[in-house]
């Protein structure tokens, strides 16, 4: 049954049909699929499936990514309350857009994808100051700071990632808290994350999960 559900769910996402995707999930639950299986065997694989076809010709588009993330978050939220035992949380990230940047879509997609992959996100919203990124990371005990920037100057400027890095250094936190960045300018220059002294970047919300898991491993060691 799982294969059949997975296929139908993927198709609904591919067609950006939220209502149909939710119906497929609820039908599967009624037919006895466990909430755990829905998250780990349907939703998470669909995220990976989207990842492989993204960016290729008319492969998965941003609209489909948006749907993948939105529905993944919705389903995961609903299923978590039905889990028999609380799932293991892999890590925690505070995420927001950099100071002066009001573009929230990228961050939203990232958060949705991470949720199903059991990475907890704290959404700091838009136009977040460097100090706030660090303070909130400490407050929430997060291992990762995520910074989304859609414009070059908010990615590269003095009140963006560079300043977050500086504060982490000043407070001796560089080993404990890592920085991941993303957004349009990073897609145009794949080395930009190094120039702004981030630890990593991801091309899209779906890859963000994979990159984050690697970063979390590094912190553990």
Partner 1 sequence: MITGFDRLMAAANGEKSDRIPVFCNLLDQGAKELGLSLKEYYSKGEYVAEGQLKMREKYGYDNLWSLFYVGKEAELLGCKNIIYANDGPPTIGHMVFRKPEDIHNMVIPDDISNHPEFQETLKCLQILKKESGDKYPICAYITASMAMPAMLMGMEKWMDMLLSGPFDLRDKLLAMTSDFFKKQLVAYRKAGADIIIYSNPFGSPYFVSAKLFNELSMPWMEKDLQGVDRFGLVYYCGGARMNQVLNQVIEKLGFATFYLSPFDDIAQGKQLIAGRALCAGVINDIKLIDWTYDEIKAEVKRMLDAGMKGGKFFFGTLVMPLYIPEKNIRYMLEAVYEYGSYA
Point out which span in 28-36, 59-67, 112-120, 138-146 binds partner 1 (CB under 8 A). 59-67
Cα gap 83→20, rounded to integer Å:
23
Q: Which is nearer to partner 1, 2 or 59 (CB)?
A: 59
Alpha helices in 54-104 (DSSP H): 62-80
Residue ranges binding ligand B12 (CB under 6 A) = 62, 65, 95, 103, 105-107, 109-110, 146-148, 150-152, 180-185, 187, 202, 204-205, 208
Contact criterion met (CB below 8 Å) for 35 and 29: yes
Look at residue 70 and give the partner it binds from partner 1, ligand B12, none, a contact being a CB closer than 5 to 8 Å depending on partner kind. partner 1
Residue from 2, 4, 52, 62 touching partner 1 (CB under 8 A): that is 62
DSSP-based helix, strand, coil % in the chain, nearest 5 = 55, 15, 30
Cα gap 48→14, rounded to integer Å:
13
Residue from 61, 129, 166, 197 touching partner 1 (CB under 8 A): that is 61
Q: Per CB under 8 A, does 156 bind partner 1?
A: yes
Residue whose C-beta lies closest to ligand B12 = 182
Residues 6+ apart with CB under 8 A from 203: 55, 182, 186, 187
Point out which span in 54-62, 80-88, 111-119, 210-218 binds partner 1 (CB under 8 A). 54-62
Q: In whole angstroms, how close is the CB of 181 to partner 1 at the nearest point?
A: 14
Q: What angle do CA 162, 62, 27 make, to 5 degrees?
A: 120
Point out which span in 8-16, 113-121, 136-144, 173-181 binds partner 1 (CB under 8 A). 8-16
Tokens of 86: 């609380």
Strand residues in 18-143 grouped as ranges (E): 91-98, 119-128
Q: Per CB under 8 A, does 20 bind partner 1?
A: no
């Amino acid at each position: 049954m799982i294969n059949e559900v997975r296929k139908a769910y993927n198709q609904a996402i591919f067609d950006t049909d939220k209502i149909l995707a939710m119906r497929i999930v609820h039908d599967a639950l009624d037919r006895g699929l466990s909430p755990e299986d829905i998250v780990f065997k349907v939703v998470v694989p669909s995220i990976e499936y989207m990842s492989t076809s993204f960016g290729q010709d008319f492969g998965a588009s941003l609209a489909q990514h948006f749907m993948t993330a939105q529905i993944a978050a919705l389903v995961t939220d609903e299923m978590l309350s039905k889990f028999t035992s609380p799932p293991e949380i892999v890590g925690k990230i505070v995420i927001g857009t950099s100071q002066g940047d009001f573009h929230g879509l990228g961050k939203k997609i990232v958060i949705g994808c991470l949720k199903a992959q059991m990475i907890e996100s704290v959404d700091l919203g838009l136009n977040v100051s460097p100090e706030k990124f660090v303070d909130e990371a400490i407050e929430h005990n997060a291992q990762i700071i995520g910074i989304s920037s859609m414009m070059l100057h908010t990615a590269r400027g003095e009140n963006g990632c560079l300043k977050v890095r500086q504060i982490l250094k000043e407070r001796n936190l560089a080993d404990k808290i890592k920085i991941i960045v993303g957004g349009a300018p990073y897609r145009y220059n794949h080395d930009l994350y190094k120039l702004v002294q981030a630890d990593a970047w991801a091309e899209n919300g779906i890859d963000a999960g994979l990159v984050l898991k690697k970063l979390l491993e590094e912190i553990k060691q």
